[in-house]
Chains A and B, each alone.
Chain A
Amino acid sequence: MREITYREAIREALREEMRRDESVFLIGEDIAEFGGSYKVTLGLVEEFGKERVRNTPISESAIIGAAVGAAIAGMRPVAEIMYVDFTTLAMDQIVNQAAKIRYMTGGQVKVPLVIRTQGGGGRSAAAHHSQSLEAWFFHVPGLKVVMPSTPYDAKGLLKAAIRDDNPVIFIEHKLLYAEKGDVPEEDYLVPIGKANVKREGEDITIVASSFMVKKALLAAEELDKEGISMEVVDLRTLSPLDKSIIFSSVRKTGKLLIVHEACEQGGIGGEIVAEVLKEIFDYLDAPIERLAAKNTPVPFAPNLERFVIPQVEDITAKVKEILK
């Protein structure tokens, strides 16, 4: 199969959906000729024109507000917020408008809106350009939250998000854009709300998402040499959470480690722990562990940043500790 990057896969999803459906359009800062801060939308303005690849002022609240308004009036906007850190400026529109218009009007309207953004650390960008804020959105009824870890999933999930009639927060990871992987050229969807097993194993289940899936897979390769068999579950969608696949994996391995890049306190790890304890406590052979970023802002200095965000060696060490 053809290999393309995560960035190209996302661009291909946008291009295919814009060709398929005239109501799909892009709105965001510097997304036209400049191609977006991470060059995801590069070249799309040439094909679709400035009417459908709309450069905006630096006005995050207006970007999302306008996308919500367009969505409830018959369009299917894909809004780009350059960094997930900047969604803070649009939280009213995301939380009070996008997520609630349908409910508060008694189901009168659909809000087919995708908010593409990217997050995560690893580039010494400091705490205004490195956060992992998915738990905020995870907490809001009315939003779906998607975090793909591979080019294949990125294309299929974004196409599914664009066709979804609800607001979807689609969080990419800045360190994944150059990652390559197999991506079919033809049309396909990855369903929202379905996790998958990225590596099968027997001894322990790792639940991760986004860039942490890659780190978990690297850790699994390391530990395989030592005879430890790790199963890696990629959530892909955080909300709605695919509990069944987590449960079936933990029933098999009896041990669970949740890894995420967002800081530990209030992260989605706690929610997964609660669900597992409630539903399949009897299958556990060890306490559930979480490995997450430390409860600090993301620091600038490379060594500090590496210390705060979970690394491959942190995962291997934690797994060994649990299996000891």
Chain B
Amino acid sequence: MAEIKDKKLVEMYQKMLEIRYFEEAAMKLFQAGKLPGFLHSYLGEEAVAVGVCSALKKDDYVTSTHRGHGHVIAKGARLDKMMAELFAKKTGYCKGKGGSMHIADFSIGIVGATGIVGSGIPVATGVALACKMRRSGQVVACFFGDGASNTGAFHEGLNLASVWDLPVIFVCENNQYAESTPQREHQKIKDVSIRAISYGIPGLNVDGNDVVAVFNAARKAVERAREGEGPTLIECKTYRWMGHYIGDPAYYRSKGEVEGWKKKCPIKRLRKRLVEEKVLSEDETAQIEEDVKAKIKKAISFAENSPDPLPEDALKDIFA
């Protein structure tokens, strides 16, 4: 497989930082009571979304989940329109009708995020079916968690996608918990990837905190999908730094466990490599950090200064 260009690594670093800072900012805003609804943080899982989406083209598709900010930022969503949606503003991606859990941007292939665990898997399969029938050469990356791997939708979707050789990459973000339930309590197996055997497709298992490892696995899967050889299941082992939602004290896991995973921070890891390999100087990484922070600040300001939707807007967009 071809070497990854330095430029690509720097882009990945920037994207991971965008997610990190976006999530940190959203958490603070939520805790300050500025955002309605629920907030499911992607902190700690940045390498999965960025590794996968870095292997996609702009017109490829992704389906996302309730914990979806990372996926859509990695796919290229605009931070200002995202933040405005979190603020429930008219200028948000969904005009304030979806919120944090449902960011979509069809113009760049983000075809929606579902609040129903597992439900996006059959939909992703259908998007891939359209790609195949239209012979468009596009592929679909379908994100879901270890929890979703126990739904009937997972089985039905993977079975259908595999029997039809559809161009879809099933990305299981194994963050160790289905809401509050640890993996050992919700499935007998340790590796979700072995379920690929039941569908006659490759199952890859990667360190989900190593963006390069994720990217390489995704590249392989994307190539296979584009060649018409069908889906791949990639399991990325990672960890959800925060509770299930912001406000969940997560008593069901130990401080030591959380701290241990934080030491494996995917962003620090890539930063170390970039500096050690002299791709970036310390000053340059600091500059990138500042630039991303400024972008987030701008997004918040856009959201805060945007108008609320009008009550009568609730009656629009039901039918085409």
List residues of chain A with CB under 8 Å of any chain B CB. 25, 51-52, 54, 56-57, 59, 61-62, 64-75, 77, 92-93, 96-97, 101-112, 141-142, 144, 165-166
Contacts and interface: CB of A to CB of B under 8 A. Distances in A.
28 contacts: A59-B159, A61-B122, A62-B157, A65-B156, A65-B157, A66-B129, A66-B160, A68-B123, A69-B125, A69-B130, A70-B126, A70-B133, A73-B111, A73-B127, A74-B134, A75-B130, A93-B119, A97-B116, A101-B112, A102-B318, A104-B94, A106-B93, A107-B320, A108-B93, A110-B320, A112-B320, A141-B318, A165-B319
A144 B318 CA distance: 11
Contacts of A68: 122-123, 126
Given A73-B61, A165-B320, A166-B319, A65 B121 contact: yes
Question: By CB atoms of chain A within 10 A, which of B114, B163, B317 has the most?
Answer: B317
Given A68-B123, A73-B127, 17 more contacts: A52-B133, A56-B160, A61-B153, A61-B156, A66-B160, A68-B122, A69-B127, A69-B129, A70-B130, A73-B130, A92-B116, A97-B123, A102-B318, A104-B98, A105-B102, A106-B92, A141-B318
Interface in B130-163: 130-131, 133-134, 152-153, 156-157, 159-160, 163
A103 B97 contact: yes
A102 B320 contact: yes
B95 interface: yes
Interface of B: 61, 92-98, 102, 104-106, 111-112, 114-116, 119, 121-131, 133-134, 152-153, 156-157, 159-160, 163-164, 316-320
B152 A61 contact: yes
Given A71-B126, A92-B153, A57 B94 contact: no
A54 B126 CA distance: 12
A103 B121 CA distance: 20
Contacts of A57: 156, 159-160, 163
B133 to A, nearest CB: 6
B119 A96 contact: yes
A219 to B, nearest CB: 35
Contact of B104 (A69, A92, A96, A108): A108
Tell me which of B94, B133, B164 has the highest count of chain A C-beta atoms within 10 A of its own C-beta.
B133
A322 B197 CA distance: 65
B114 A107 contact: no
Contact of B133 (A51, A65, A96, A110): A51
Contacts of A51: 133
A57 B156 CA distance: 8
A105 B98 contact: yes
Contacts of B98: 104-106
A102 B317 contact: yes
A104 B317 CA distance: 8
A237 to B, nearest CB: 13
B307 to A, nearest CB: 14
- Ranked 10 nearest A-B pairs via Cβ: A69-B126, A65-B122, A107-B317, A106-B95, A73-B130, A66-B126, A62-B156, A165-B320, A106-B94, A59-B156
A61 B156 CA distance: 7
Contacts of A59: 156, 159-160
Contacts of B93: 105-106, 108
A300 B72 CA distance: 52
Given A71-B126, A93-B122, A65 B153 contact: yes
Contact of B134 (A72, A75, A112, A141): A75
Contacts of A93: 119, 122-123
Contacts of B116: 92, 96-97
Contacts of B92: 106
A97 B119 contact: yes
Nearest to B104: A105
B101 to A, nearest CB: 9
B106 to A, nearest CB: 5
Contacts of B316: 107
Given A66-B122, A66-B129, A142 B318 contact: yes
Contacts of B317: 102-103, 106-107
